[in-house]
Structure 1
Amino acid sequence: MRYLARRFAFYVVTAWAALTLNFLIPRLMPGDPVQALLSRFRGRLDPRATEALTAMFGLNDESMWSQYRTYLVDLTKGDFGLSFTFFPTPVSTVILDSLLWTIVLVGVSTVVSFAVGTLLGIVAGWRRGTRWDHLLPITTFFSSIPYFWFGLIVLFVLSGELRLFPLAGGYSSWLSVDFSWPFLSSAFKHAVLPGLTIVVASVAGWLIPMRNMMVTTMSDDYVVLAEAKGLSPRRVMLNYAARNAILPSVATFTMSLGFVVGGAVLTEIVFSYPGIGNTLYQAVINEDFPLMQGIFLIITFVVLLANFLADLVYVWLDPRTRVEA
């Protein structure tokens, strides 16, 4: 418990530092978001609205400390302000609308790539020196290709030339967002290509470490003893070697779930997918301070929570951690 209490205190301090940086960084960026908003309406807003918009977005002449206090008070109420990009929609609504798309796409893709990469790594490590080792250069080749470049190739071949999948978006524009079969089938077709891009590009990140840990674990005494006792190879591979070799991968997977909220920014931009990564990109190019702050804040807290869960999982899986603590 003392170990977990120290870790929890560390995450509390980190969360406060992240809150402060989240407040400061957008305000240190060059440019005037209010003028950018006025220019987007192309003269349809009265120039006298500048003062009202400046006060509404909290960018008036108040001191930085006063703005910081207002920022913290608003956060305790769950108020992230209004989005410049999707004005006058609240930031919380914009984030919720795009977050679900990213969780489904990137979350499912992360789980699939972890499962496939880990299973292939277990088998490749157990059968080292055989044809299974050919998986290493193949998967490494695909992982070395940048996400956006691989996405463009897949988009050009499967959507542009073969016309097997839609070119862009999250669903067909004439459908309403609901749980009807036409919408779900359309959303699935639109998610196949970006999901495939993420899975293929990230499998090597799970396969290679798992394979190397399997090779290292197989020389440990308890694995050698299990083989000497005449246990079946499958039981030795799964219950003895893989069970201990998977510990680092499980911890890494738990932390990677925290980054799911951040979305695969480049992949979502290439496929024009309506996820949080694409929304963040629009917020940056439009100098949308409230939306950037809201997204960064959500990402930060989810990553910190995922790291804390990783500590809990590791303590639960590895008794040595509890003894050392």
Structure 2
Amino acid sequence: MKFFLRRSVFYLFTAWAAITINFLLPRMMKGDPVSAYLLKNQGRISPEAAESLKTLFGLDSSKTILQQYLDYWALLFSGDLGRSFSRGLAPVTEVIDSALPWTIGLVGLATVMSFLIGTSLGALIGWRRGSKADFAVPVATFFSTVPYFWMGLIAIAVLSTTLGWFPASHAYGKGTVPNLSLDFIGQVIKHGALPALTIVVASLGGWILGMRNMMLTVLDEDYITVAQAKGLTPRRVLWHYAARNALLPQLSSFALSLGFIVSGTLVM
């Protein structure tokens, strides 16, 4: 119980600090979002509307910073995340709702695929240590060091523009109304294949390297020697003894990578 209490206090403090910094940073910077919005719409917004915008965005100069801070927390607890300047002052919750299913579908599937493929390849490479299969490790590691946006641009230039194998943008064809038909599902898969492939290729290196290193450690354990001495097939020793035990740290890393699903591929 003490452990859970300490962790709870730590996470609550972290959440408070993150939210407080998120509140203070825009107010410490020069200018404010409302002023930037007014510059883009010069002559189309009256002074009264401008003051209403400042009130709407919690920038009312008649309130102290403390009052604005308390209002900020009250809005968060009520589920109001504010308005989006880039989406015509639409509620932020609606913007998130429209983007979240596509993000989870694309990045979630790509993360699971990269974990399964990378872990399987890492187990095989570790099992055949010292063979030509080791060459895959530096190759995969190289791609994992390439910036996502650069790899995406190269993929679009080669596979979309030059070869025409994949669409270069959007989640489905222009003019298509989202539905549950096979045609629409096919369009979504076709449009999502290239970014998913880019994410998988860029993240394979970590999974392969991590699993290979754990396999090298596990293969020196006594129970592996005993399993081989019993006459078990190499395939059974690999997947039921070595890989199963080497997989445990990979599962922890996979759990941590789930946060990447909604935060790590904005550009992609």
What TM-score do the two structures reach when normalised by structure 2? 0.93
Correspondences of 1:71-86 after superposition (within 5 Å): 71-86=72-87
Residue 40, structure 1, aligned to residue 45, structure 2 = no
Letter in 2 for 1:155: I
Q: Measure how far apart 1:88 and its partner are.
A: 2.8
Residue 156, structure 1, aligned to residue 187, structure 2 = no
* Distance change in 2, residues 1:8/1:48 (3 Å): closer
Correspondences of 1:4-23 after superposition (within 5 Å): 4-23=4-23
Q: Measure how far apart 1:194 and its partner are.
A: 0.9
Is the CA contact 1:159–1:166 (under 8 Å) kept in the aligned structure 2?
yes
> Which residue in the other structure is 1:28 paired with?
28
Deviations 1:264-312 (CA, angstroms, capped at 9, x unpaired):
1232xxxxxxxxxxxxxxxxxxxxxxxxxxxxxxxxxxxxxxxxxxxxx
> Which residue in the other structure is 2:233 paired with?
232
Question: Which of 1 and 2 has higher RCO (CA within 8 Å, sep 6+)?
Answer: 1
> Which residue in the other structure is 1:167 paired with?
168
Structure 2 residue matching 1:246: 3-state secondary structure: helix
Is the CA contact 2:26–2:32 (under 8 Å) kept in the aligned structure 1?
no
Letter in 2 for 1:104: G
Query: Structure 1: 5+ residue runs without aligned partners?
Result: 268-325
Residue 193, structure 1, aligned to residue 215, structure 2 = no
> Which residue in the other structure is 1:276 paired with?
none
Letter in 2 for 1:19: I
> Which residue in the other structure is 1:96 paired with?
97
Q: Measure how far apart 1:260 and its partner are.
A: 0.8
Letter in 1 for 2:43: G
**For the residues of structure 1 that align with 2:255 and 2:243, how far apart are their CA atoms?**
18
* Distance change in 2, residues 1:169/1:70 (3 Å): same
> Which residue in the other structure is 1:207 paired with?
208
**For the residues of structure 2 that align with 1:32 and 1:266, how far apart are their CA atoms?**
24
Q: Measure how far apart 1:2 and its partner are.
A: 4.5
4+ residue segments displaced more than 6 Å: none
> Which residue in the other structure is 1:66 paired with?
67
Deviations 1:18-65 (CA, angstroms, capped at 9, x unpaired):
222222223223332112212333432224421111111110121111
**For the residues of structure 1 that align with 2:256 and 2:133, how far apart are their CA atoms?**
28
> Which residue in the other structure is 1:121 paired with?
122
Larger CA deviation: 250-259 vs 80-89 = 80-89
Deviations 1:195-229 (CA, angstroms, capped at 9, x unpaired):
11110111011001100110011111222222223
* Distance change in 2, residues 1:71/1:42 (3 Å): same
Is the CA contact 1:102–1:263 (under 8 Å) kept in the aligned structure 2?
no
> Which residue in the other structure is 1:260 paired with?
261
* Distance change in 2, residues 1:187/1:43 (3 Å): farther
What TM-score do the two structures reach when normalised by structure 1? 0.77
Q: Percent identity?
A: 49
